[in-house]
Chains A and B, each alone.
Chain A
Amino acid sequence: MKVCFINGSLQGEKASSLFFLRALQSLLDRDPARPDIVTVGCRTRGRHSKEDIAAIRSADAVVIAFPLFVYSLPGALTRLLEDWQASFADAEQAKGAGSDPEGARVYAIVNCAFARPETNREAIRVLQNFCGRTGQRWRFAISIGCGAVVVMTSRIPVIRRALTSALSRIAADILGEAAGGRETISVRPIIPAFVGITIRRTLEWRAARRRKKAARPSEIPV
């Protein structure tokens, strides 16, 4: 079983998406083959590297983790999907060389800054459309609200249980041990909604206040 993780965040080691992928990786430890991790690029001239595309194309299961950007996939991840799709056209031109007979099983872990995981719904639909168009096998998604808060509070047993249970569903499905449904699993922070809204409004108010004081980004030395 070959597994490939796609980290759709550009936040590097700080990325919540990477945290979720590593947590999933620890659950897949029974599988001797370590997953390949492909991280999207900030500025890509031409296409993503052949190695990245080959790692994705050769996988039996692909897990795509990403933060919600403007209610959809980040532009960088959209680009990787475009390149992935283009690789099918290339393979067809090369008379089927390297073409996927069955298509990989695709899972998604989407996290957004909003309290309600339902905000991720359209982004998940985009991935389903991608699978439909390229012949990949869509499985299911984990939809996480307040992703950064879930990461920060992941040591709290209730949160850890909810997250681990959701990730275990993906791990079991990858390893062929699951008989669960394919509906989206929602993981939300345990803070009440009004607390989340208050925190958000406070942060927005502080940001607005800082805007008046802070320097222009163009004046910050590069």
Chain B
Amino acid sequence: MSERKIRVLMSKPGIDGHWRGGIVVSRALRDAGMELIFGGFQNVNQIVEAAIQEDVDVLGLSIHSGAHFAYTKQIIDLLKERGVFENILILVGGVIPAQDFPKLKEIGVANVYGPGSMTSDITEFIKTHVKK
């Protein structure tokens, strides 16, 4: 019996176009055997809709604009409203100061990856923390 692959949606909330991080991590997760849906630019409603439609286990948010708190909070609130927050592992990556990690975790982010993160650490974290 084949195991269901871990499904990941990688999105870029907002309009900032720094795209390298999101692509690098997407490829690494795909190489690690996960099913990767690259959402690209999506507004917060589109992200939540796509996460539900695609029945994802993991939602990756790539944010380099400095507006990481505003977007993440909006997305988590919407996921809660739709009753799916508990099912999805939320990860945030980008140019995010270490000082902001606790604040993001407090609102429901499972882990945060700042500059210099290794993709192997992200893969490992997902495999050990995925909720389903």
Is B one of A's binding partners? no
Residues of A within 8 A of B (CB): none
Residues of B within 8 A of A (CB): none
